[in-house]
Amino acid sequence: MDVSVIGSGYVGTTLAACLADLGHDVVAVDIDEDIVTRLNEGEAPIHEPGLQPLLDAYTGSRLRATTDYDAVPETDLTFVTVQTPSREDGSIDISAVEAACRDVGESIAEKDEYHLVVVKSTVIPGMTEEVLAPAIEAASGKTEGEGFGLAVNPEFQAQGSAVQDFMEPDKLVLGTDGDDRALDLLANCYEPLVVDWDPPVVETGRREAAMIKYANNVFLASKISLINELGNVCKEYGVDSYEVADAMGLDDRIGAAFLRSGAGWGGSCFPKDTAALMAAARERDYEPELLGQVVAVNDRQPLRMIELLERHVDPSGERIAVLGAAFKPGTDDTRGTRSRPAIEGLLERGATPVLYDPTEAAASLASEFDGVEVADSAADALEDASGAIVMTDWPEFSELDAAFDAMADPVVVDGRRIIARREGLMYEGLTW
């Protein structure tokens, strides 16, 4: 099939490369000329394992990029994957999705055949029907369901495993409200993947599809906040919460995944999607009490780390190593990282945070503050530090050993249960 993908960020680039791998001819459309140039040179605009080999294999053959929406009508269907950032009140700003849909609409105005538009960006239920459909109708002069179709097909890939998550998904969610033409095109597009991997395919309404995405993410965020709450209580009673979580995970009704307690959840999606669902609930006069607490527990975890540090050292005027800036290992993304509130807490106490991350994330996060030093290695960050807080579970942190001996005061607060050495340290696990 011929497929266009609007937006070449985390989701769009992975989607475009994976669709090419499934055998489709793919054109990626982005308004950012730099991204388009890099893609056409076969260079991944984002850091994602497994992506570069796909670009190497398909750039210039089954995969090309452009800033020009004229490529859209030559394709059978268009995925929209542009960003949906948070507004001040937590609700999402869908202006970029709306603008993309308008441009898609304009581009298909002269097209004779039916064209399918698929919303992959995360949007609140109803927005597709109430905002995006009218935008495409106005720009194309066509009627939804006749000249074009509009489906919702949320994406569940996680950063760092996006290619594998796309190729081996737990489920495909196709929200079409029973539009046969839309369903047929989407089913054809995913057919090679279904043949290879055979995931459950959920055919549902567009509102349900949109809600499934939010429900998935807030459930996972809640699961982490609950295990963090339990972990905090475990710590007070001298109970090893990881042993508790491992045993809980053996119960099929609970499941072992997402039970690692610690510094909390960050990233580009959990914070944004939790806030968006809460704002959407309030919009309909429903106060989402539980979600409020899920966020409150998450906000508290980095500050609890500093309180634990303060049990052993007064951070005022001291160098404190901060290990990890990315929101999780395997990425250089600092969106929603728990290191940010931890750094704020240290600065408020008059400490000098010395930040290390194996990626560019350290320089990028440090540039948001005055008074944060960036170290070239974990050992450099630890040297002469009067304490250390471990924010990201980068595997290299588990191997740290002699570097701790160079600390002025070997106080280590581990927010991810990643430090193997305990001997000779004043070691505090956050939830154990």
Ligand X SMILES: O=c1ccn([C@@H]2O[C@H](COP(=O)(O)OP(=O)(O)O[C@H]3O[C@H](CO)[C@@H](O)[C@H](O)[C@H]3O)[C@@H](O)[C@H]2O)c(=O)[nH]1
What residues are labeled active site?
A: 269
How far apart are the two ends of the chain, measured CA to CA in Å?
Answer: 53
Among 14, 217, 386, 431, the residue binding ligand X under the rule CB under 6 A is 217
Per partner kind, with CB cut-offs from 5 to 8 A, the member of ligand X, ligand NAD, none near residue 30 is ligand NAD
Among 3, 6, 127, 277, the residue binding ligand NAD under the rule CB under 6 A is 6
Q: Any binding-site annotation on 142?
A: no
Cα torsion 30, 218, 169, 327: sign: positive
Per partner kind, with CB cut-offs from 5 to 8 A, the member of ligand NAD, ligand X, none near residue 291 is none
Query: Cβ 340 to ligand NAD, closest distance in Å?
Result: 18
Query: Cβ 103 to ligand X, closest distance in Å?
Result: 24
Give which of 254, 234, 229 is closest to 244, Cα–Cα.
Answer: 234
Q: Are 284 and 290 in contact (CB under 8 A)?
A: no
Residue 118 binds ligand NAD (CB under 6 A): no
Residue 347 binds ligand NAD (CB under 6 A): no
Residue 270 binds ligand X (CB under 6 A): yes
Query: Cβ 268 to ligand X, closest distance in Å?
Result: 6
In the window 77-116, what residues touch ligand NAD (CB under 6 A)? 81-84, 96, 99-100, 103
Instruction: Give the residue closest to ligand NAD by C-beta.
Output: 9
By C-beta, is 45 or 341 nearer to ligand NAD? 45
Q: Any binding-site annotation on 262?
A: yes
Residue 158 binds ligand X (CB under 6 A): yes
Query: Cβ 158 to ligand NAD, closest distance in Å?
Result: 6
Per partner kind, with CB cut-offs from 5 to 8 A, the member of ligand X, ligand NAD, none near residue 47 is none
Supply 378's token pair: 């974990």
Interacting residue ranges for ligand NAD, rule: CB under 6 A: 6-12, 29-32, 35, 81-84, 96, 99-100, 103, 121-122, 155, 157, 159, 268-269
